[in-house]
Amino acid sequence: FLGSHLIDKLLKDGQNVLCIDNLYSGNLHNIKHLNKNKRFSFIKHDILEPLHSTVLIEKIWHLASPASPLLYQNDPIRTIRVNYEGTFNLLNLAKSHNSKILFASTSEVYGETKNYPQEEDMPVFLSTFSPRACYSEGKRIAETLINSYREKYNLETKIARIFNTYGPRLNINDGRVISNFIRQCLKGDKLTIYGDGNQTRSFCYVSDLIEGLSSLMETNYYYPINIGNEEEISIIKLAELIKTKINKEIILDYQKLPLDDPERRKPCLDKAKKYLNWSPQITLVEGLNKTIKYYRGIFQG
Ligand code: UDP
């Protein structure tokens, strides 16, 4: 999902792109339109296996890893390995090509916290036994590994802590809240609200996210940095908003809140604004309109 949008931007900027994916959560349909582009190639490969390239690589965008709780909890050991061993393999590739490497980390590294908005250097409390730990701990060890490579081998590394992102090409069955709600509304199913729906998230539209990552790649900033949107909304309000846009008659179906589901998520973007000269531009309403249009297209075939 993110990778396909990033590739579109890189190709538009005149770069050559080699896309690597094992298709665990990725979807070939998202890159189908690039089939005839001579500056684009695709390899089905799992980054748990080491990578070699005879072509000189200048930049590595490491977005590998499932990001939806449903998918990353489906195979926790794999999630940990992709983030640790996979990152290790990509760092070695970066080292052998002396290329820059950008890592997609996550807001999950903040765990459950009473500090809002979430700042990059605040203390965190995370349980290693949480069902979410395979992802949050995997991302945390990857951040540490990346920093160790930077110090030891003088690599140019970047770490983006990505908050909830949505938009066209997000798999409709991915299990995340925006794709779930839109799918349920379009199909006339009940909207599944986990818990009382008062938990919040701050949703970033995909084009903003890609701009943020691109700016980060071009800076020398190597500390972890938040990329997201500051517009915070409760899940229940999000449900109402999507309902009004698609079908007001849809019924809400309250279900059990998953264990350790964070109560509030809102990024502090001070560092991104200062060091990347970047801030998101698309409001939630605008982004939802574009996303709903995309999913309607899928449903109408
Ligand atoms: N959620 C929900 N209904 C759904 C899917 C998710 O109420 O059908 C809630 C979920 O419990 C969480 C929030 O929406 O509080 C965001 O979930 P998502 O899986 O999109 O991302 P997360 O931020 O949890 O990684």
Identify the DSSP state of 190.
P
Indicate the helix (H) or strand (E) that contains 206.
helix 206-217
Mean pLDDT of 80-94: 98
Per-residue pLDDT at 244: 97
Known catalytic membership, residue 135: yes
Looking at ligand 1, which residue's alpha carbon is closest to its atom 1? 177
Q: At what angle do helices 284-299 and 235-246 cross, to 10 degrees?
A: 50
The confidence score (pLDDT) of residue 217 equals: 98
Closest CA to 245 of 174, 185, 171: 185
Task: Please list every protein residue whose CB sits less than 6 Å from any atom of ligand 1.
Answer: 68-69, 164, 176-177, 180, 192-194, 199, 201, 235, 258, 261
Stretch (H or E) spanning 253: strand 252-255
How far CA 241 is from CA of 230, 231, 289, in Å, comes to 18, 14, 11
pLDDT of residue 24: 94
Q: Could you identify the atom of ligand 1 that is nearest to the CA of residue 180?
A: 8
pLDDT of 277 higher than 80: yes
CA of 179 to the centre of ligand 1 (A): 10
pLDDT tops 80 at residue 301: no
Going by pLDDT thresholds of 50, 70 and 90, the confidence category of residue 272 is very high
Atom 4 of ligand 1, nearest CA residue: 177
Catalytic residue among 135, 149, 205, 295: 135
| Residue appearing with tokens 């110090």 | 151
pLDDT at residue 231, rounded to an integer: 98
Separation CA 283–CA 131 (nearest Å): 31
Q: Which of 14-18, 123-127, 185-189, 290-294 has the lowest mean pLDDT?
A: 123-127
Q: Map tokens 């908050």 to a residue.
A: 163
In degrees, rounded to 5, the angle at the alpha carbon of residue 72 between the alpha carbons of residues 67 and 74 is 150
Q: What is the mean pLDDT of residues 69-88?
A: 97
- Assess whether pLDDT exceeds 90 at residue 112: no
